[in-house]
Amino acid sequence: MRIALLGDIVGAPGRQAAAAAVPWLKQEKRADYIIANSENTADGSGLTADLYKRLKEAGIDGQTLGDHAFRRAPVRAALESAADLIRPANLPAEAWGRGHMKLEKAGLPPVFVMTVIGRIFMNNMHGDDPFECVERWLKTLPPRAIALVEIHAEVTSEKAAMGWHFNGRLACVFGTHTHVPTADERILSKPGTDDSIPGAANPFPGGTAFVTDLGMCGPLDSILGRRADRVVKQMTTGIPAAFDVAFGRPVAQGVIVEVDDKSGLATGIERFSLEVKPA
179 is catalytic: no
**3-state SS class at 136:** helix
Catalytic residue among 68, 152, 177, 179: 68
- Strand pairing class (85-86; 146-152): unpaired
In sequence order, what are the beta bridge partners of 64? 37, 86
* Contact call for residues 10 and 227 (beta carbons, < 8 A): no
Q: Between the CA of residue 226 and those of 8, 10, 19, 48, 243, what are the distances in Å?
A: 13, 9, 20, 19, 6
* Cα 127 off chain centre by: 17
**3-state SS class at 64:** strand
d(CA 49, CA 78): 6
* Contact call for residues 150 and 175 (beta carbons, < 8 A): yes
Q: Which residues are catalytic?
A: 68
